[in-house]
Amino acid sequence: MRSLLDFLVRHAHVFLFIFLETLSLILLFGLNDNQRIAFLTSANRLSGTFFEWRADAESYLGLKGENERLLKENALLRERLLSLSDSLELERVKMLSDEVFVLARVIDNSVRKDDNYITIDKGRSDGVVQGMGVFDSRGVVGVVNMAGSHYSVVLPVLNSRSSISCKVVGSQSIGFLEWRGGDPYSAILVDVPYHTAVSAGDTIVTSGFSSAFPENIPVGTVRSVEQHRMSYTLKVSVDLFVDMSDLRWVYVNSRKSDPELEELVGKH
């Protein structure tokens, strides 16, 4: 106790100064409205500035967490968008399908090689066999090359061995759609009779002259026409309807093939 009294006596002038200063502030701001308002306004400005600084600091420190949250939300939205897009594509294919078509999903694909191939998730157990035509809602994709029990390999238009019987809409003259490599968005219709009326912008469809494809499955539009006078045929450049790099769902023409017809035609 004596130590406390000695401390208070030794610093009595300091406590007196604090007491008088506090009393003067109370009298100044308590009895003077103008001074009180000025003080409160300044205090609010200071506190407001402090709160802004604190909010900015918290926002900066929380950027990592916020970015992670936004990335998760973006990933979720992308997943939902892809799921919706996939569902819409599936429904569109189903609408165009009937009992003679087998719906299949593309599980592997290539477009930049000289000889490209596509793998689908349907095989012999699903009624898919070699020689069946494959197409999607946009048009021709290719022909089944090998069929396993549950998977099949498709020889697409973008393969040097592919040859599909086609015709120009409005004409019964046929040619064979082939691919010479390079551009994955176009192919060539060869052996078209030179008297065939065809010009840029015309539509090319399947001829129906083989059991691989029904008649009038879309193939593409004519880009240009060259006439080979020596062979009396036309060479028709075709812009394909199907983007082979964007394949998800296809359907296979599972109608029974006619061996006699295939032997006579000799090509797909």
Give the CATH number of domain 106-265; options: 3.40.109.10, 3.30.70.60, 3.20.20.140, 2.40.10.350.
2.40.10.350
Nearest to 120 by CA among 102, 107, 129: 107
- Which residue pairs, CB below 8 angstroms and at least 24 apart, start in 186-190? 186/220, 186/223, 186/237, 186/238, 186/239, 186/240, 187/157, 187/158, 187/220, 187/238, 187/240, 188/235, 188/236, 188/237, 188/238, 189/234, 189/235, 189/236, 189/237, 189/238, 190/233, 190/235, 190/236
CATH 2.40.10.350 occupies which residues in the chain?
Answer: 106-265
| 3-class DSSP state of 80 | helix
pLDDT tens digits for range 103-120? 888 999 989 888 999 999
Instruction: Say if CB 146 and CB 200 are below 8 A apart.
Output: no
For residues 68 and 74, give the distance between their C-alpha atoms in angstroms, rounded to a whole number: 10
pLDDT tens digits for range 62-87? 566 656 656 666 656 656 665 666 66
For residues 243 and 226, give the distance between their C-alpha atoms in angstroms, rounded to a whole number: 24
User: In the chain, what percentage of residues exceed pLDDT 70?
Assistant: 60
